[in-house]
Structure 1
Amino acid sequence: MHYSKVSFKVACWAFILVGIGHTATDLFGPKSPELIHLGETMKAFTLNLAGTETTVFSLQQGFSLMMGLLLFAFGLLNLTLLKNLKEPPIPRNILWLNICISFICTALSIKYFFTVPIAFTGISFLAFTFSLLKQKVS
């Protein structure tokens, strides 16, 4: 298999795994007494957004679940694209888009998150970049 395809798959799977991990942790992760208290405080804080009343907890939960789904879907969409690609190489515009998105995800992870999302988004960024570089060489 062509090296750029292998690294592209690695990048995709890193996004899929971090999406699954994020969602599973959000839904099934342990809840400390402090986290439960914080959740109750967030539920008590209501907002009116575009005529709809919601809580900070609902917004945070919705954004978190949406993030997990989108990380998973981004990786899966790219794997599907690769599978349906009749001819190598992977289109350069797709590679550049993936490099940009994974770079931004890595930068945001470094600023706001912890080791696991930093590592997985960083792997995606490096693997997508490697795919582009290997295509130039081949």
Structure 2
Amino acid sequence: MIATAFLSMWISNTATAVMILPVGIAVVKQLQDNPNTIKNENSIFSKALMLAIAYSASIGGMASLIGTPPNLVLAGVLEKSYAIELTFAKWFGFGFPISITFLIIAWLYLTKFAFQFKLKEFPGGIAEIKKQINILGKSLLKKKWF
């Protein structure tokens, strides 16, 4: 959620969600392919992860003036109608704390109320991550960069 919200502070919410969604889908696929994981827990985690991506993209967009187009529209309306200049720093000083608060609330809601996980970690999850990093490292070494 933190990575998605951070990206969404600087680029469009929709673009951020579209960029992060394949990562989430890959994580879900890895869990489904792992025989050590429990099917019901995978389903719960999958739903929570997809909602976390959507929520954090929207929440992160509130943090900065350029995070989502409606923020810029509001800044333009305030300047034209009321001669109030809403700078990036002013918006960030107001929006960032709210965004952090909403991100914490969303995480708590998703993990404690909406989707309750019985497992604290997925069996074999850390080993799978290490395996994928090793595979990625070997493939990067084989590439010719020049």
More RCO (CA 8 Å, sep 6+)? 1
TM-score over 0.5 for the pair: no
TM-score between the two structures when normalised by the length of structure 1: 0.33
* TM-score normalized with structure 2 length: 0.32
